[in-house]
Amino acid sequence: MITTSITNPSAEVISNHIFANVLLNNESSQKSLHTSVSFTPGDVICHFGAGVIQPYATYLTVQTGADRHITLVPEFLQYINHSCAPNVFFNTSTMELVCLRSLQPGDEFTFFYPSTEWEMAQPFVCNCGHEGCLQLINGASHLSVETLSKYKLTDFIRQQVRLKLSL
């Protein structure tokens, strides 16, 4: 949730992966994932899978169904923080991490938590600083259809929105 930059002197690389580095911000103790290569919108950054599959959400899980929440494999994907102007998307139907905006080496990967989460385990106040920041992030169920229409959403979330509208 804290935006770090690879040029930020208070942040250090703590692990390297094929296409990304995990950074630790020593001031905030927040970890974040940064690309080490360039991506363009539509690129499949990687495939992901499920570690643990469980019926409830935690701060580490991604929702893939009504009572289905997964921990991410590869594990370092868990360090992708939220932004209200995300640059990647977890497609939980194809199990692909997809690029939404151009990424250059050093850029932090971010995704829109409500794009996968209907109801969040740990709501928080966002300070991503982007125009149109939604501030309270507590899951797609709390957002208007108009707000949700601005984002790429998983098939599961789109289905939940349709169910809610048909009530």
Query: Which residues within the stretch 79-98 sit at the binding site for Zn ion (CB under 5 A)?
Result: 84
Radius of gyration of the chain, Cα coordinates, nearest whole angstrom = 15
Output 72 or 128, the one with its CB closest to Zn ion.
128
How near is the Cβ of 167 to Zn ion at its closest, in Å? 28
Which of residues 88, 128, 153, 157 is near Zn ion by CB under 5 A?
A: 128
Distance in angstroms (rounded) separating the CA atoms of residues 60 and 69: 9
Output 70 or 120, the one with its CB closest to Zn ion.
120
Question: With binding defined as CB under 5 A, does residue 46 bind Zn ion?
Answer: no
Question: With binding defined as CB under 5 A, does residue 1 bind Zn ion?
Answer: no
Determine contact, residues 11/79, Cβ cutoff 8 Å.
no
Q: In sequence order, what are the residues at sequence separation of 6 or more whose Cβ sits closer than 8 angstroms to the Cβ of residue 97? A: 44, 45, 46, 47, 48, 77, 88, 89, 90, 91
Phi, psi angles (nearest 5°) of residue 76: -65, -15
Question: With binding defined as CB under 5 A, does residue 120 bind Zn ion?
Answer: no
Which of residues 46, 126, 147, 159 is near Zn ion by CB under 5 A?
A: 126
Site residues (vs Zn ion, CB under 5 A):
84, 126, 128, 133
